[in-house]
Structure 1
């Protein structure tokens, strides 16, 4: 039986699980591939307290330059170093498997160019427990993909679930996520939308053959959300989710990551806790929802090993879903300009409670061609997550005794240019006490 020797670079939670699974399940893995897959070497910055029974090293070249190593599995995280590891592995004709969505978000097309037929696997880079890469590249490969909408980050989804179900404030829900291990000590990439954006860019390459970059698309996170926003959504039969969205209209592709109000009875609205879910609509198959754990040592390791096994079977497929000598779909599908996006919008304004304020706001919206669909006024909580220094600075220029209220409104459909222009003008009003907060309303049709 043929043997494939694997080096694992990054022996953390996932790397340890990969090693142990390859060893514990070697019989079934060999039976399903016809190949004996051996974890031969582990590379880590610190090899102390690593409870695996394979040789360990701190030197990358012990794996990358070792002629006995057939495959490199990269699990170190980051962008620059993993990219250099990938290039060196491909130069030395070693198969390469990664779970690194950030590196692929920036360098996936460079790897496709450099690999020269050497297999690359990256199933674990997007929603670890969901085989969404294979679904798009293989299972739905005969379909034109009309849209992808997904909850792609478990940390943010857990926080939103806690805020919705238990009325927890943002900071309290974030602390709970950290205590449970769903959020890192520094959760920035999870809560600001960057993690979801990295995953969306990878999926957009597979579904549409488009080389979009991080700076090309709208990326917004969940910071700034307060209970009043949650309550408005509930009263209007919506749930609030952080979604990665790809929608094709004619030859333009709309790509974005941001909070959405979505119908509470939709499938995505029912995905709670730290789980992930991806809705894909194909022109022939219709809508499918793919649900599962987005992270975790064993879940991510399972996806890593599926790539290892696929390569062991000598399966050859274009890395990003399209053969290199075919007509590039990039010539057909163009990224839609951000300002052309159209939607309904929810807006929260904190304003002075005095006569005439609503009229001023409605007039500004009308100037920008925006009509109000619904409006609610609520007493403002002084402990909300606003910039209190900014509020006091604005208040100091006017009557300190005025009470403040929240105006919570939803609009009819308008475009991004209109809403952004209106929000900027509203922010400049003395009557508006903090930066307006906006959520797009996605109908999922």
Structure 2
């Protein structure tokens, strides 16, 4: 017997009962970003592998272990994008969007791919919304990115469930000095580090700070602190960011071990974390990457951005019961028609209603059926009201109007008064 076809492990279908919540979340974010002056950009999901090696760093876990990389028919090495920043920078460079020092405030949405061990909140195909800003170098734009996410958490009703963590990685020079001090400290305690941290000490020592191993965490308590090695410019920038967050009333904690998993970050790094999702606690993260554009072949250009995980935020909305009630209802009105003449009249009437009420979610019964079967489908649709159209109604040029949820008697409404009646009822419903 042939094996049944299934989705790839860690790459999930988003089913019809789930998509209304996704659409609600995506439209809420899109509306917010429109209001802040960000413009959407759309990039391919496949890029040349070299793009990610140059930007993310060849000794990062993403490049070493997690990327979906393959050779195409031309022999080119291609990779399904594991994150969006590198692809966005490539697009900005290719199309000259950052030329002349012109600020660019961009956002994107779409799937990313990493070969990780699938678990709740972590998948091999996952979806992100990302923001990237170019040619603005002050702490004011760093603050704006954090402030708008704070506003989003309020719009979604999850503000009390997230915490902002901040750190500064300084410039590449100050980070280099800190790296030397950290390596010296940890090398003297090598036997107390876990195996993964011992490997990272040789390739990417700052990532040791991000370890989840309890024994290594105990060693890190007395380790040198990045704050003690910051240059004056980075320290001033960080103080400016904190002052703006204080002015906006946004609470935060300084996490000296926050380094992020990508090589291109400098100065500001931040994460929004939660304790509501188990092991997958980060829902939004980012920071400043002032050297990345130049590293990828462009002129010196400042950059800052973040990405938020859609799956994790959807899971938060469900866990915290912050799914708006109307999201679960996809139909406002269900029209039942009995007989061919009523079906024809129902088609005409339904299109007129759609002209008059563009936001009305009206489903017309298809496939005919008895009175009982059509009403069963009307109830299953979740509609608030049913419209009934048969020979008697046609003769009187009325529609029988029946509430399906809550109180109210069935009544007859004239064709020409139906739109106004529905407008009132749907608002009330």
TM-score by length of structure 2 reads: 0.24
Q: Which has the larger radius of gyration?
A: 2
Which of the pair is proportionally richer in helix? 2
Which of the pair is proportionally richer in strand? 1
TM-score by length of structure 1 reads: 0.23
